Structure 1
Amino acid sequence: MALLEIENLSKTFGTNTVLHQFDMQIERGEFITFLGPSGCGKTTVLRMIAGFETPTRGTIKLAGRDVTHVRTRQRKVGMVFQSYALFPNMTVADNIGFGLKVLGRPQTEIKARVKEMLELIKLPHLAERYPWQMSGGQQQRVALARALSNKPQVLLLDEPLSALDAKIRVSLREDIRNLQRELGITSIFVTHDQEEALSISDRIVVMNEGRVEQIGTPSEIYNFPRTRFVASFVGTLNLLSGQVVDPASGKIVVGGQELRTSHALNSSDAGKQRMLAVRPEAIVLEAPANGRNTLAATVEEVNFLGAVVRIRTRVDQSVISLDVFNDPNRRLPERGQPVALGFSHENLLVLEEGA
């Protein structure tokens, strides 16, 4: 049985439905990330799991117990907020021990747990400081320790790194992931940053306009997006429109040129226009070769980006970009030059209809 079971969860504010039929099972020890743009419903789900919002419909079960209408303090969840939400008039030690104090734990237990948490976040020397005397990264570590102090079954993190600069974000997200693995605690992380999601998650839930677009591992989400939104939101993508001419063999024509997918398509797709996708890094400049898709294109722009050179080409009505590593000995094509773009059948993605 999954540790956290969410079934048919929906949320409406007045006439505005912000979450539509969210379903998911989360296993013990998993690190799950809710990924999507602002307003997609990811924080709403998190707040309902925490008990800060009540679902309009649906159920939430934690360790087999229905907690849909149970008060927050009785759910055994810990929450880390985007704004840290530390008490400015309390020391670091008092902030970490606050939840245990509210629960009526003995003072000796609180002191021992606070000491343990300070060691865990590597800030034992800052126990008597106040939040305003610390950096943003240190404050967020204290917020994390406070959320973990009462040994929650699920740790919820609502965009905890968004207020930090880029270098600290990378360091702290690695610390959070390492800590999660060390404790084995089930965690749900909310972000709109695709790199964050891809780098630390066991599974990612991609959301858009209150609906789940796709759930999968980072590799599945990036390499095999099912919808146009997922493909466009996660990573850089080339989109093409092609007509299916032979579903059984996966044959599709783009601008008069024949491409093939690695698998058969539905017979009902014959004659239809379908949206196709291919990642820039999957494309190479090469002469036509057997066993690969090839498109004749014309170079429109060559952009030097340091370690990578991005080449923008045109095929019929579509612009296709590809990335090559910067090699001083490589001769790059020039604007207006005809080139052949090669990529494997497996790297040609056919997106779901209506996506």
Structure 2
Amino acid sequence: MPLLEIENLQKTFGAHTALHHFAMQVERGEFITFLGPSGCGKTTVLRMIAGFETPTRGTIRLAGRDVTHLRTRQRKVGMVFQSYALFPNMTVAENIGFGLKVLRRPQAEIRARVDEMLALIKLPTLGERYPWQLSGGQQQRVALARAIAGKPQVLLLDEPLSALDAKIRVSLREDIRALQRELGITSIFVTHDQEEALSISDRIVVMNEGRIEQVGTPSEIYNFPRTRFVASFVGTLNVLAGQVLDPATGRIAVEGQELVTAHALASGDAGKKRLLAVRPEAIVLEAPAAGRNSLAATVEEVSFLGSVVRIRARVRDSVLSLDIFNDPNRRLPERGQPVTLGFSHENLLVLEESATASS
């Protein structure tokens, strides 16, 4: 049985609907990330799971128990906020042990758990310091320790790394993931950073305008996006407009040239326009080859980015980007040079209509 079950969750604020029919299940020990732009509803869902917001409609079950209308302290969830939210007048140790103190745990048990948490977050000697004496990364570690000190069933993290600089963010996100695996704690992480989501998640829930666009593993989300929104929000993408020639064989006309998809299309798609996508790293410069797609193009720009060279090439009215590894022994194409862009049938994605557009 899933540890967390969310059914038909909806939230309205006056005339505005912030969340539409959100539903998913989270297995015990999973690390789930809610990914999407600001205002897409991801924090709203997190706050309803925590008990800080009441759903307009829908049900939340934790370990089989309906917690939809229970108070936060009755849910056994831990929360880590973007702003740390540490008590400035308490030491690090007092902050970590605060929740246990509220639960009236014995003092000896609190001390032992605090020491355990300090060791776990790699700050064993800083228990007597105050938050203002710590760096941002150290403060967020303390907030994390406070959230897990009470052994919650679910750990909720609301953009906990957004206030930190880039280098510390990378280090701390790796530590959070390692800690989550070590403890086996079910976690839900909110972010708008695609790299962050891809690097630490078991599954990603991509959200847009209060709806789920797609749920999948990082590999599925990046390599097989179902909608234009997912494809463009997660990574860099080339989007092409095509017209279906033969659905059975997957033949599509694009800018006066013919491409083939890896799978047959719906029989009713004949003559219809469809959006296609291909990642820059999936395209190579090569002569036409049997069993592969190719497009005749003209080089518009060559940008040297260190380990990668990005080439922009025009195919009639469309411009495509392709990324190739830097090879000092390889001669790069020049602006205005005709080239052939090649990619496999599998790397040509046929996009579905966005969840927001189809509602």
Q: TM-score by structure 2 length?
A: 0.98
2:43 corresponds to which residue?
43
Q: How far is the alpha carbon of 1:317 from its aligned partner?
A: 1.2
1:265 corresponds to which residue?
265
Contact 1:173-1:196 within 8 A present in 2 as well? yes
1:347 corresponds to which residue?
347
Contact 1:82-1:163 within 8 A present in 2 as well? yes
Q: What secondary structure, in the 3-state scheme, does the structure 2 residue paired with 1:126 have?
A: coil
Q: Where does structure 1 differ by over 2 angstroms across 4 or more consecutive aligned residues? A: none
CA distance in 2, matches of 1:100, 1:74: 14
The amino acid across from 1:80 in the alignment is V
- Equivalent residues in 2 for 1:135-146, closer than 5 Å: 135-146=135-146
CA distance in 1, matches of 2:184, 2:131: 28
1:87 corresponds to which residue?
87
Contact 1:310-1:322 within 8 A present in 2 as well? yes
The amino acid across from 1:147 in the alignment is A
Output the aligned Cα RMSD. Answer: 0.6
- Equivalent residues in 2 for 1:298-337, closer than 5 Å: 298-337=298-337
CA distance in 1, matches of 2:38, 2:353: 25
Deviations 1:291-328 (A, max 9, x none): 10000001000001111000000112111000011111
CA distance in 2, matches of 1:117, 1:137: 16
1:200 corresponds to which residue?
200
Q: What secondary structure, in the 3-state scheme, does the structure 2 residue paired with 1:167 have?
A: helix
Q: How far is the alpha carbon of 1:148 from its aligned partner?
A: 0.3
Q: What secondary structure, in the 3-state scheme, does the structure 2 residue paired with 1:40 have?
A: coil
Q: What secondary structure, in the 3-state scheme, does the structure 1 residue paired with 2:176 have?
A: helix
CA distance in 2, matches of 1:259, 1:152: 52
2:121 corresponds to which residue?
121
CA distance in 2, matches of 1:325, 1:218: 23
- Equivalent residues in 2 for 1:140-289, closer than 5 Å: 140-289=140-289
The amino acid across from 1:43 in the alignment is T
2:34 corresponds to which residue?
34
Q: How far is the alpha carbon of 1:353 from its aligned partner?
A: 3.2
CA distance in 2, matches of 1:315, 1:266: 27
Q: How far is the alpha carbon of 1:255 from its aligned partner?
A: 1.1
CA distance in 1, matches of 2:225, 2:122: 39
Deviations 1:86-126 (A, max 9, x none): 00000000000000001111111111110110111111100
The unaligned stretches of length 5 or more in structure 1 are none
In the alignment of these two chains, the number of paired residues is: 355
CA distance in 1, matches of 2:324, 2:65: 52
CA distance in 2, matches of 1:274, 1:153: 44
Q: How far is the alpha carbon of 1:172 from its aligned partner?
A: 0.2
CA distance in 1, matches of 2:198, 2:155: 19
The amino acid across from 1:157 in the alignment is L
Q: What secondary structure, in the 3-state scheme, does the structure 2 residue paired with 1:236 have?
A: coil
1:24 corresponds to which residue?
24
Q: What secondary structure, in the 3-state scheme, does the structure 2 residue paired with 1:248 have?
A: coil
Q: What secondary structure, in the 3-state scheme, does the structure 2 residue paired with 1:311 have?
A: strand
Contact 1:80-1:158 within 8 A present in 2 as well? yes
Q: TM-score by structure 1 length?
A: 0.99
Q: In percent, how many aligned pairs have the same letter?
A: 86
Contact 1:274-1:353 within 8 A present in 2 as well? no
Q: What secondary structure, in the 3-state scheme, does the structure 2 residue paired with 1:262 have?
A: coil
CA distance in 1, matches of 2:172, 2:255: 47
Q: What secondary structure, in the 3-state scheme, does the structure 2 residue paired with 1:124 have?
A: coil
CA distance in 2, matches of 1:32, 1:353: 24
